[in-house]
Structure 1
Amino acid sequence: MAGLTASGIGSGLDVNSLVSQLMTVEQRPLTALATKEASYQSKLSAFGQLKSALSTLQTAANTLKDAAKFSATRATVAGGAPFSATSTSEASAGNYSIEVQALAKEQRTATSATTEFAPAAGDLIVTFGKVDGGIFTPGTAAPKTLNFAGGTLEAFRDAINDGDLGISASIVNNGTVKQLVIKGDATGAEQAFQLSGTTGLSVDPTVAGVSSDPTYNLAGAQDAQVNVDGIIVTRSTNTLSDVLEGVTFTLNKEDVGTPYALTVADDKSSATSAINAFVKAYNDLSTTIKSLTAYDAENKQASTLTGDATARSMQSQLRNMLGGAISGLAGAARLSDIGVSFTATGGLEVNSSKLTEALSNPTLDVGTFFAGTDTVDGFATRISERIDGFIGAEGLIAGRTDGINSSIKSIDNQREQLTARLTRIEARYRAQFTALDTLLSGFTQTSNYLTQQLANLPGSSSSN
């Protein structure tokens, strides 16, 4: 009689493989949750791209709020001029003749070049004033005093620099002795200083002196002097911002007897650049929206935000504003008035020649169109505020992303619950198959025993 066998089962049962295959089926809901979460994450990323593009457009719009940008001027100086110049919208266009006759300077004084100065403990008194006709006249400010405790020349230098005296000190080693060099912190004729006191350092700003003297003056304090169209102007600094309205001069060197031309002209380049930047920012946004909402009919493939109402609403609102008119302005009322219009594909384009003409036409008042008035919001302000409604803390995008994040959080909760359930299911499967393995193992042992017993029966060898 043939023996009872159970090939591949019994104590050889592959419990791990069986459980793994069953759990693969059980985990399908977990895979579905992961797919759904990935979709939500893609939407978050898409709205992030939209927000970034909208933010760039808002920045470009905010730049156009500055009305001064549309009345800007540019100052140009002749080549080799000993000064530079800048101008603002307050400057009047015109040509000017500028001659730099003197630079503003600070007083500079040094100790002897042959005998090294040794400071004594005591007071150093600094008095500021003006030298006029060889006479030093103290100014209205009270003298400043430094109480020096004594020490080296280096210690004296440091004490001066830390003393807030209106002067500063340095040490120059001329190869023979160390010289203490003192200079005023400010330029201008009224910044001459006199030094006195009990430290041994005495300076008279009216005496030039020679290098072998205990102290001698290297340079006297003086004002800048500029000839502007035949008018002599003096200032205490080399930066002059109140000579011509809206123009700032920076004097670099003296060039007595040689006048240089300064030209102030209207400058529309910054306004043109700002408008072009706005157009580019809108076109970039339009491209972003198109790529995120497109549908590939041939491959039947939707994009991340295909059919999304929020994206469509934002695009529609912006297009309406860009094509609409602003009432209450005397000049330009819409973008098309200044040469900015829609293309056939929905983007914006700039007619450069028309824009140049518009910027030069005071009746269109392009600056007011963008910046607005006290009673009428300009185009730039309206666009910026509308974008705030999209990307602000309470805006459309925030509402959508909050909802998506809530959905992702819900998926996380479902995943936790499902994972716990799968753990229990796996434990049950393992328990059931382990029990089955034990049972089959018992059956196998019984089968083997019966086979042996039957083989021992009389005549069993010829029974077959």
Structure 2
Amino acid sequence: MAITSSTGLASGIDIETTISKLMSVEQKPLIALAQKEAAYQAKLSAYGTLSSAVSTFQTAMANLGKASTFESLKTTVADTAIFGAKASASAIAGTYQVNVTQLAQAQTLSTTGQTSKTASIGSGATTTISFQFGTISGGTLTDGVYSGATFTQDAEQATGSITIDSSNNSLQGIRDAINAANIGVTATLVSDGSANPDKLVLTSTKTGETSSMKITVDGDAALQNLLEYDPTGTQNLVQHNAAQNTQLTVNGMAISSATNTISEAIQGVTIDALKIGQSSLTIVKDTSAVETGVNNFVKAYNELNTALATLTGYNAETKTGGALLGDATARTIQEQVRKMLTGSLEGLSNTTMSLSKIGVAFQKDGSLAVDSAKLTKAISENYGDIAGLFATVGKATDSLVNFTGSSNATKAGSYDIVVTRLATQASLTGTVNLSAGNTTIAPNTAISFSIDGVTAKVTLTEGTYTGKQLAAMLQSAINGTAAFKSADVAVTATIDGNGNLSLVSDRYGSASKISVGSSTGTSAATFLGTARTGTDGVDVAGTIGGRTATGSGQSLTGATGTDVEGLKLEIVGGAIGARGRIDFSQGYADRLNKLAESFTSTDGLIASRTTGINASIKDLGKQSDAIETRLTSIEARYRAQFTALEVMISNMNSTSTFLSQQLAQISSLSSSKK
């Protein structure tokens, strides 16, 4: 018999209410688990807040851990329309008078006018157009044409060439070929409205007097007549703008620059020349930047300290504790940060420097405060030493030893430097005296060079060269070859005292190598003689802090497992032997940044704790699921039991009714017989 009402028809019991009360008792473990999970979730949220606070602190420390934050200089230009200026930390404070007398510009050439931009020029025979860059000097310039001038190729600028044939032998085709080649020249078309209006205009992409063009055309005669340009001879193009340098004086001293941006005319200063004129430049220590940096350091620490206090503290008024009250992880973070700030720093060049000396001190509530008067005095007296308190700084006593880096394993301290071998560059010296006469390079000459592990064919520009001219052309050709350029491989080519060609790799160390392979056209033997394989470079060798360091090129790196592990120094010259010391310090901001990273990293303190909490929450979920399943069974059992009870009572009621009826009938029969 099914139960169709919340109240048993047979028993009169409120079954639903009874089952609900029974189940509420059964559900107490589930409620306890839910409360436990809520507590875990609250703690997880608190750790999220803590992680965010530590991450914000870490970002602030990373920015303040840069030495440049505390060593900046401020520049002031009286007339910013004439020039602008920026100073690096190596600049010297002072006032400088700057007089700009000429601005740099690029050379511009144009062809004679043509009747059409798209009409074919010449026969369409395959033609090579080669560009060289250098300096035009001497002679006279009349209506854009030089006479009696000389051209000296700039060895620092790569040569380049394009190929013209029947597919692109028009002004438009030549323009597109030049622009696509990216060889240091920009080509445009100009129409002047005359009978032959269309002209090809070529402009060097670089400013400066060493960027004048020399154009050689090998092939079709019509293209030679249009584009051949040699400032010392045939000039089929007309110059409209001469290549020129920026000219200026600094405190009366003449300075020349290929661009309008002039670096190191004043040590550590970059000047951007804007127009001709004279103005003053004042460079002073940027004390406001240092003050801002110190105050930002204090602010970042106090914000973290406040966040920790809120999460771990107890409010006596509300009688409530923070979500991480008594938490070991939060307490550890708080203690380690404070311990690091109260610890001393090793490796400072100025051993008397400290946070208290610049006016930074702890207060009774655990926060930091800045004494502005003390900070101002410290900046005035020890400006160059303040960076060491906050950033990672390496200062070598030898000017030819540069600090270039460190690792997390490098320990602060002062370490002696000993150089047992200086790094060298690979070199190859020819056996032909090139100063005795000129050398002719035939058309289509290409020579295979292997430099610093990269091998490529180098195309040489045809022509007749003196020794110095050949060296300049060869250096430009090698350094401009795509394979070498993309691999950052380069050489310097010169003529030595014996008239021999010398090639020197720009790279230092054992990876520096030079050799010469096969050639087409003019043989390499013409200017190198029997020389084919050069002398390899060697790495620097020495010790840092008495421990053998690893040499790579000019870099010495401290050995693994030592106090100087990861400490990297660049030895740019000098002598063999003792080379002074390196004072290496890790400032508070840099150390705190690394400490914060250990808290927030994927395997850090906070992550480990939250991983454990998430595991506990997951386990509670499994327990809850098991209890839910059990409760479903229990409720089903209760309902089955109450159903059975109803059936039993209903049956009993039916039997009782039947018996009552039978007894009543018996009683009635008995009465009638009497």
In the TM superposition, residue 436 of structure 1 has moved relative to its aligned partner by: 4.3
Provide the secondary structure at the position in 2 that maps to 1:243: strand
State which drifts further: 336-345 or 316-325. 316-325
Given the alignment of the two structures, is residue 407 of structure 1 paired with residue 411 of structure 2, yes or no? no
In the alignment, is the contact (CA less than 8 A) between 1:15 and 1:434 conserved in 2?
no
Residue 332 (structure 2) aligned to one of 295, 303, 313: 313
189-198 vs 385-394, which moves further: 385-394
User: Could you say which structure has the greater relative contact order, defined with CA pairs below 8 angstroms and 6 or more residues apart?
Assistant: 1
Contact preservation (8 Å) 1:205, 1:217: no
Q: Following TM superposition, by how much is the alpha carbon of 1:285 offset from its aligned partner in structure 2, in angstroms?
A: 0.8
Conserved 8 A contact 1:327-1:333: no
1:150 partnered with 2:149: no
Q: Deviations over 1:305-348 (max 9, x none)?
A: 11223323332343344345446754444322111122343211
Which letter maps to 2:178? I
CA distance in 2: counterparts of 1:363 and 1:270, whole angstroms? 11
Per-residue deviation, 1:91 = 0.7
What SS class does the counterpart of residue 232 from structure 1 fall into? Answer: strand
1:137 maps to 2:159: no
Structure 2 residues without counterparts, runs of 5 or longer: 139-145, 395-412, 415-584, 669-674
Aligned to 2:494: none
Equivalent residue, structure 1, for 2:323: 304
Change (3 A) 1:183 1:427: farther
- Checking the alignment, whether the CA contact within 8 Å between 2:214 and 2:231 is kept in structure 1 is no
In structure 2, relative to structure 1, the CA distance for the partners of 1:111 and 1:453 (3 Å cut) is farther
TM-score (norm 1): 0.81
Secondary structure at the aligned position of 1:76 is classed as strand
Which whole-Å CA distance do the structure 2 matches of 1:387 and 1:318 have between them? 8
Report which stretch shifted further, 410-419 or 14-23.
Answer: 14-23
1:194 is aligned to 2:199:
no
Which segment drifts farther, 18-27 or 330-339?
18-27
Contact 1:10 1:440 in 2 (8 A): no
- What letter matches 2:635 in structure 1? E
Q: Is the CA contact 2:131–2:159 (under 8 Å) kept in the aligned structure 1?
A: yes
Q: 2:628: which partner in 1?
A: 419
Going from structure 1 to structure 2, the CA distance change for 1:421 and 1:189 (only over 3 Å counts) comes to same
Change (3 A) 1:440 1:184: farther
Confirm or deny: 8 A CA contact 1:61 1:384 kept in the other structure: yes
How has the CA–CA distance of structure 1 residues 454 and 317 changed in structure 2, closer, same or farther, with 3 Å as cutoff? Answer: same
Q: Which structure carries more strand by proportion?
A: 2
Partner of 1:462: none
Question: Structure 2-normalised TM-score?
Answer: 0.58
Contact 1:240 1:250 in 2 (8 A): yes
Shift of 1:450: 8.2
| Alignment correspondent of 1:221 | 243
Q: Does 1:342 align with 2:342?
A: no
Match among 578, 589, 603 for residue 380 of structure 1: 589
Letter of the aligned partner of 1:236 in structure 2?
A
Task: Give CA deviations for 1:250-291 in whole Å, capped at 9, x if unaligned.
Answer: 2223x1xx3111111111232222211111111111111121
Show CA shifts across 1:221-261 (max 9, x none): 222222222222212122211322101112223x1xx3111
- Find the residue that maps to 2:48 and give its secondary structure: helix
CA contact 1:60–1:274 (8 Å) conserved in 2 = no
Aligned to 1:357: 377
Farther off after superposition, 371-380 or 299-308: 371-380
Partner of 1:322: 341
Does residue 237 of structure 1 match 2:240? no
Question: Which residue of structure 2 aligns with residue 3 of structure 1?
Answer: none
- Within-5 A mapping of 1:160-175: 160-172=178-190
Identity %: 39
Instruction: Quote the RMSD (CA, aligned, Å).
Output: 3.8
Residue 266 of structure 1: aligned partner:
285
Give secondary structure in 1 for the equivalent of 2:382: coil
Q: Counterparts of 1:76 and 1:132 in 2: how far apart (Å)?
A: 37
Does the 8 Å contact 2:94/2:282 carry over to 1? yes
Q: 1:8 to 1:428 in 2, by over 3 A?
A: closer
1:89 aligns with 2:76: no
Corresponding residue for 2:274? 252
Look up the match of 1:51. Answer: 51
Q: Which amino acid aligns with 1:351?
A: D
- Deviation readout 1:38-90 (Å, 9 max, x if unpaired): 21122122222223322333343344444444332222211244221111111
Q: Deviations over 1:344-369 (max 9, x none)?
A: 43211212222121112139932333
- 1:30 and 1:415 in contact (8 A); partners too: yes
3-state SS of 1:225 partner: strand
Deviates more, 1:138-147 or 1:43-52: 138-147
**Amino acid corresponding to residue 209 of structure 2 in structure 1:** A
How far did 1:105 drift? Answer: 1.8
Q: C-alpha separation between the residues in 2 aligned to 1:364 and 1:248? A: 21
- Give the aligned partner of residue 127 of structure 2: 123
Q: 1:327 to 1:150 in 2, by over 3 A?
A: closer
The one-letter code sitting in structure 1 at the alignment partner of 2:626 is Q
Please tell me the residue identity of whatever aligns with 2:303.
Answer: D
Single out whichever of 310-319 and 437-446 deviates more from structure 2: 437-446
Structure ranking higher in helix proportion: 1
Does the aligned pair in 2 maintain the 1:148–1:156 contact within 8 Å? no
Indicate the residue corresponding to 2:605 in structure 1: 396
8 Å CA contact 1:238–1:252 kept in 2: the answer is: yes
The 10-residue stretch of structure 1 (140-149 or 25-34) with the greater mean CA deviation from structure 2: 140-149
**What is the Cα deviation at residue 420 of structure 1?**
2.5
Deviation at 1:215, TM superposition (A): 5.3
Which deviations, in whole Å up to 9, do the C-alpha atoms of 1:152-179 show, x marking residues without a partner? 6544433222123321223456678565
Matched positions, count: 447
User: Separation in 2 of the partners of 1:401 and 1:248?
Assistant: 50
Instruction: Kindly indicate whether the alpha-carbon contact (under 8 Å) linking 2:245 and 2:259 is maintained by their aligned counterparts in 1.
Output: yes
What secondary structure does 2:356 align onto? Answer: helix
Residues 340 and 269 (structure 1), Cα distance of their counterparts in 2 relative to 1, 3 Å cut: same
Gaps (5+ residues) in structure 1?
1-5, 208-212, 460-464
Bigger Cα displacement from structure 2, 294-303 vs 63-72: 63-72
Closer, same or farther: CA 20–205 of 1 in aligned 2, 3 Å: farther
Counterpart amino acid of residue 274 in structure 1? G
User: Which is worse superposed, 324-333 or 244-253?
Assistant: 324-333
What amino acid maps onto 1:296 in structure 2?
A: N
- Larger CA deviation: 413-422 vs 58-67: 58-67
Q: 1:50 to 1:178 in 2, by over 3 A?
A: farther
1:183 and 1:333 map into 2 onto residues whose CA distance is 57
Judged with a 3 Å threshold, the aligned counterparts in structure 2 of structure 1 residues 10 and 269 are, in CA distance, closer, same or farther, namely: same
- Please give the alpha-carbon distance, in whole angstroms, between the structure 2 residues aligned to 1:454 and 1:172: 132
Answer whether contact 2:130 2:216 (CA < 8 A) is retained.
Answer: yes
Counterpart Cα distance in 2 of 1:108 and 1:358: 56
1:92, CA displacement in angstroms? 0.9
Paired residues for 1:12-31 under 5 Å: 22-31=22-31
- The answer on whether the counterparts of 2:101 and 2:248 sit within 8 Å (CA) in structure 1 is yes
